[in-house]
A = this chain, B = another copy of it.
Amino acid sequence: MYKVTFKFENSEDVTAFAAEGENLLEVAKKANVAIDAPCNGNAACGKCKVKLVSGSLDSEKTRHITAEEYEQGWRLSCISLITSDVEVLVPDIASAYRSRMKVADLSSTEEVRIFEKAKSDIAEAGIEFKNDLEVIDVKMEAPSLDDTMPDNERLIWAVKAQCGVERVKITFAALKKLSDALRQSSFHLKCVVRRTEKKLEILDVMPKGAVPQVGGLAVDIGTTTVSALLVDMLTGAIIAKASSGNGQIRFGADVINRIIEQQKVGGRKKLQRAIVEETLNPLVDSLCRTSGFAHENIFRLCVAGNTTMNHLLFAVDADPVRMEPYIPTFYEVEGIYANDLAIDINPHARVIVAPNIGSYVGGDITAGTLASAIWNKEEMSLFIDLGTNGELVFGNSEFMMSCACSAGPAFEGGDISCGMRATDGAIEACTIDKETMQPTFKVVGDEGQKPAGICGSGIIDIISELFRCGIISPKGKFIREGERIRHDQYGMGSFVLAFKEDAASVKDIELTEVDIDNFIRAKGAIFSAIRVMLQSLDFDVTMIDHVYVAGGIGSGINMENAVSIGMFPDIEREKFTYIGNSSLAGAYAMLCSSEAEAKVADVAHNMTYLELSSEPTYMDEFVASCFLPHTDATLFPSLAMK
């Protein structure tokens, strides 16, 4: 056995043991060390680089590592075999996905504004923001030697008499608190209850003088990022927001690699633990700490995630999601409670899952569609969610159609050598001087924050600017020379945004031809999907009244640039609105409003699904879209005019 020590710039070492010849990335996974491995160890993405500090590794050279880098000790962990005791440095850029908790300061109302906006849009569409949780006051006679009714019957009788409900139940958690609460308050209680027409369930009991906390949790489980809102269920107010990376990321950046991973022995439990114990429970913890809420006072959970994320959360086999005929275990599901999932909130909290409508159009889209309110408009709207994949919904109050395209994770910084999410250090906007080729950029974070990588909106800007400045060709190849333009030993070009001296990174921040190619394919997938879906309905882009762009691409997205690279159709720019994390906004609405919950089910039932891969024109459209902006320039008349 050899000793393997993982070193980090900002945290403590992790030690593991491995046999001769074991794969370094696998050892890291077992030791819960998050090495970024979007391709799940296929030596395809080149992101799992680590730096050898001492000892030796049996590790080939690859195009992902320059001769100089190799000299410095950089190795791809997925093709490195252990041959001695070894110490490796896991760089911060590689561990960008490590669960970094971020709790929003809600005084910066921008964080909350977007959710309030969605809420008011939904309310305007006629959805009442009211749920079935409430607090009631119940007074009972104290027992005596002549009146020996036990506590639970006493409470149930009193509630039946007071509320006129036939069936009253007490949850097990409330039962445990009942005796103390009654005797602390002379048999006068406050109760948190869930009241439906015929039934009333007592979820919590407390002495009459206590101030009840009735919390709810809305969660967007993205493939890359998980975000959560803690909500006051009585007022609907957002109390705190937190987000972190999805702990499953070390098992692959995309859903396919995770589905493969969950099929291995013990895989489903491993993936479930990664999302529940390593991601959701820490998020709940931090939300509760920030807000002074007790875990057990969170009485409801609403989850919006794609079909695969939902299956992995439940530890239900996700393999059928990717295998023809693409039949998952469930689209909708009921009767799940927090203790089924070991989520650390009230064990009897009902889990609402935003319904999936297909293997590749999940609850994030149905919830997001709710938030966009396009289901209530006469005008024709296009809703685009740029998550780790791209999903589209087109329609109005009369009909809706959805489709999904495998755009890949490029919009969230995946498959991009210096890509990262739109968190601190991300270049989110950029302009380039046509003469000097000097870039000017905006970095997410506090003033003076050095760049650490590039997020989706930044990549759009950079590609748009490189193209505008004639630095790259319509195919994305470098056609000018300069100090910022490099070619490696394989001839691959790249553009340096920031040299490492000026960056929060161990290496220069650059965008390579491979990155540009990946991104062009991603934007091509989106654009061609829009075209094919509209064609299938006999529509064309001019008939689109409004476009709602959602997702983790970053609020800095520049619509002009997005059109200029051919990602979005060339229609009036004021028709585009960025609506942020619509999946979370939808989950928030479903959590707070029983009508919203019902509406999403309704939306899901009435939305048709277009399987793009069965559309004969899709592949041609896709190939034609893998150009800047497009092989058919007539599709972008406004660009031609410039």
Contacts and interface: CB of A to CB of B under 8 A. Distances in A.
Contacts of A171: 335
A329 B151 contact: yes
Interface stretch (A177-185, A294-302, A557-565): A177-185
A317 to B, nearest CB: 4
Contact of A179 (B152, B176, B329): B329
Interface string A144-185: 110111111100000000000000011110011011100100
Interface in A271-326: 314-317, 319-320, 324-326
Q: Which of A147, A314, A330 has the most CB of B within 10 A?
A: A330
A268 B268 CA distance: 34
Number of copies: 2
Contacts of A335: 169-172
Interface residues of A, number: 47
A172 B314 contact: yes
A179 B316 contact: yes
Given A169-B335, A316-B179, A335-B169, A152 B325 contact: no
Contacts of A153: 330-332
A258 B428 CA distance: 63
Given A148-B358, A334-B169, A143 B327 contact: yes
Contacts of A325: 143-145, 147-148
Nearest to A337: B172
A584 B335 CA distance: 33
A156 B148 CA distance: 45
A329 B175 contact: yes
A151 B327 contact: yes
A340 interface: yes
A148 B329 contact: no
Interface string A30-54: 0000000000000000000000000
A347 interface: yes
A180 B143 contact: no
A638 interface: no
Contact of A150 (B144, B330, B614): B330
Nearest to A143: B327
Interface in A606-626: 611, 614
A336 interface: yes
A339 interface: yes
A483 to B, nearest CB: 54
Contacts of A327: 143, 148-151
Given A143-B327, A144-B325, A325-B143, A316 B175 contact: yes
A267 to B, nearest CB: 13
A339 B170 CA distance: 16
A580 interface: no
A326 to B, nearest CB: 7
A333 interface: yes
Interface in A162-217: 169-172, 175-176, 178-180, 183
A274 to B, nearest CB: 17
Contact of A317 (B179, B331, B347): B179
B326 A172 contact: no
Nearest to A324: B145
A208 B188 CA distance: 54
26 contacts: A145-B324, A145-B326, A145-B611, A145-B614, A147-B325, A148-B325, A149-B327, A150-B327, A150-B329, A150-B331, A150-B356, A151-B320, A151-B329, A151-B330, A153-B332, A170-B335, A172-B314, A172-B336, A175-B316, A175-B329, A176-B315, A178-B329, A179-B316, A179-B317, A179-B320, A180-B317
A328 interface: yes
Nearest to A178: B329
A319 B184 CA distance: 14
A328 B475 CA distance: 78
A384 to B, nearest CB: 24
A117 to B, nearest CB: 33
A175 B318 CA distance: 12
